[in-house]
Amino acid sequence: MFWILGADALVQALGEVNGSAVAKFFAGQLDHRAWEGFTFYDLIFPLFVFISGASLVYSLTRQIEQHGRATAAKRVLIRGALIFVIGIFYSGGFTNPWPDLRLLGVLQRIALAYTGAGLLFCFLKPRALAAVGAAILVGYWALLTFVPIRDLQLDKTALATRLRTPKPSLEQVRAAFDATTARVTGHYEPGYNLTNHLDFQYLGGRRYDTYYDPEGFLSTLPAIVTCLIGVFAGLLLRRPDLDDARKLRALIVAGLVAVALGWLWHLQFPVIKKIWTSSYVLVAGGYSLLLLSAFYYIVDLRQWRGWCQPFLWIGMNPITLYISSNVIKYRVQAARFVGGDIKAWLDTHIGMGAGQGLLAIVGLALMFVLARFLHRRQIFLRV
């Protein structure tokens, strides 16, 4: 949350001011890959899904023990529905009439992945959960690899070339799509894969990428496995028969194995965040396990905790701060303090990007002020 609420803009501004290869590398890590590959920024979204899986182990185990599986499952469904509705609000809500309303998005995917993993956790044992997770990953790969799709790439540039018009209308694209009879298999390019084609055919409302959505409905299935990886991490941390050192080793080994398997699978089934490929699930899940192991060592084993208080404020109110960033827009408010001539002076006398860096710092400060205020007054949005 810290990164997407302003730290990313700060690092990118520093990269622009500094201009060194190292600074540019870190700035590049705080931007998504256009399609295939992986950066640090591509880890943030699945890390949220992973954390929701780890946390549900603690909350639902208590619910199951005290009130039974049916009550726990009901809580999962209610919580998932609330997060889904909040996600629609974040995406603009009912500002625009149908069909210019986005049904799916980041929070909606978290809601659906949490709901799927939570229901599975309520009724299945760990071995069955592992089997279901593996079946989803292999099944998703099989669908994208072997199910035929129309030989038409739903990409703006490709469509403009094929239809011989700079900006083809949606009606023209749909007519071309319906008229295409040739079929192909095993493609994973933008707009040229089963996930994107199903979005175009069946996903109503506004699609983020015009013809398909990076949080489309079919790619939600492997996102459930991302949440299940978090579930297994939570189960490991709750095991009373393992000491801290063995838990740490297990997290590290599992993370390394998942990353290795993911990049090996990448050779045939590329790591692509926008369609949440099975290889992406393993790579992101592996890095999430390694990050968890690092913080488990620092915070729990070594008990170096003084530095993390501000991040605790954020962690106690993530949805509130995420929604507020959309409504309040911290960097827009920061411009009221250090925009205009101040920003221009910094860009002129220090270097291009310096003004943007100051805006990012002030925006982060505003976010931390709100987070601290909410924490001190015990105001938490719990879904």
Answer yes or no: do 7 and 53 share one domain: no
In a domain, 49, yes or no: yes
Looking at residue 305, its pLDDT comes to 82
Residues of the chain with pLDDT under 50: none
Looking at residue 95, its pLDDT comes to 85
Looking at residue 19, its pLDDT comes to 64
In a domain, 273, yes or no: yes
Answer yes or no: do 379 and 235 share one domain: no
Answer yes or no: do 102 and 48 share one domain: yes
In a domain, 287, yes or no: yes
In a domain, 288, yes or no: yes
Answer yes or no: do 205 and 269 share one domain: yes
The reported pTM is 0.90
In a domain, 156, yes or no: no
Answer yes or no: do 249 and 331 share one domain: no
Looking at residue 111, its pLDDT comes to 97
**Cis link prior to 148 (omega < 30° from 0)?**
no
Looking at residue 2, its pLDDT comes to 57
Looking at residue 212, its pLDDT comes to 96
Answer yes or no: do 246 and 278 share one domain: yes
Answer yes or no: do 289 and 324 share one domain: no
Looking at residue 137, its pLDDT comes to 98
**Residue ending a domain, choose from 304, 323, 358:** 304
In a domain, 70, yes or no: yes
CA distances for 176 relative to 72, 100, 181, 207, angstroms: 48, 22, 10, 19
Answer yes or no: do 289 and 189 share one domain: yes
Per-residue pLDDT tens digits for 54-78: 999 999 999 999 999 999 999 999 9
Looking at residue 7, its pLDDT comes to 60
**Residue ending a domain, choose from 304, 325, 352:** 304
Answer yes or no: do 137 and 24 share one domain: no
Q: From CA 74, how far away is CA 383, in angstroms rounded?
A: 13
In a domain, 178, yes or no: no
Answer yes or no: do 7 and 65 share one domain: no
Structural domain including 27 reads 1-31+309-383
Looking at residue 294, its pLDDT comes to 95
Q: How many domains does the chain have?
A: 2
**Residue ending a domain, choose from 287, 304, 321:** 304
Answer yes or no: do 96 and 193 share one domain: yes
In a domain, 83, yes or no: yes
Looking at residue 5, its pLDDT comes to 60
Answer yes or no: do 143 and 60 share one domain: yes
